Amino acid sequence: MGLDIYLYPKCGTCRKAKKWLDDQGVEYNEIHIVEEPPSKDQLKNMYEKSGLELKKFFNTSGKKYRELGLKDKVKEASDDELLDILASDGMLIKRPIVTDGKKVTVGFKEETFNDVWK
């Protein structure tokens, strides 16, 4: 199974996710989320397949999120506006995002990875 993992190399959570995938022998394609952020269409597709609320795709603990004052915007903006904001900067996106084209996980929880990617 070929997975795409959108990550930021300095992110501890991303490193844990990669280690889990490596330990399971899962093959994946690494995509640097800042240098090659997913497009608005890719994000929309992942959002629709994830079953998550769109606000779960935001890196709420990130400096950029706070600088842009997105906490209130996220509550009021349309999905289209939120996708535009996410696509504008990879640092705004919660990571890692892992997808096989059918399923999507956002962030890393070992329990979720065991359920979805094992």
**Lookup: tokens for 73:** 């915007």
Strand partners, 98: 5, 105
Residue 80: pLDDT over 70: yes
**CATH homologous superfamily of domain 3-117?**
Glutaredoxin (3.40.30.10)
Q: How confident is the model at residue 2 (pLDDT cuts 50, 70, 90)?
A: confident
* CA gap 48, 69 in Å, rounded: 25
**Lookup: tokens for 39:** 């497009």
Amino acid at 83: L
Task: Name, in order, each residue with C-beta under 8 angstroms of 32's C-beta and a sequence gap of 6 or more.
Answer: 7, 8, 9, 90
Q: pTM for the complete prediction?
A: 0.95
Amino acid at 43: L
- Give per-residue pLDDT as tens, 34-75: 999 999 999 999 999 999 999 999 999 999 999 999 999 999
